Amino acid sequence: MSTVHVHPVNDLIAHDTDGGDCPCGPRVEPVPSDDGSIGWLVVHHSLDGRELTEPEATR
């Protein structure tokens, strides 16, 4: 099983990409691999306002 982190570069905070809880509240999505196993795509969110267009983002 592999985990891939996608996070904004040059963000205001340091994102935790070692498997711990990141303060940005990343979204985790399962990603099927070619060999049949399931990998994880961890999508981090920027904290400088770039992605704060959704009303639910403040919760």
Contact residues for Zn ion (CB under 5 A)?
15, 22, 24, 26, 44
Q: Which is nearer to Zn ion, 23 or 37 (CB)?
A: 23
Distance in Å from the first CA to the final CA of the chain = 31
Q: Which is nearer to Zn ion, 44 or 54 (CB)?
A: 44
Q: Which is nearer to Zn ion, 1 or 9 (CB)?
A: 9
Give the integer Cα–Cα distance in Å for 45 and 42. Answer: 10
Give the integer Cα–Cα distance in Å for 4 and 12. Answer: 21
Shortest Cβ distance from residue 17 to Zn ion (Å)? 8
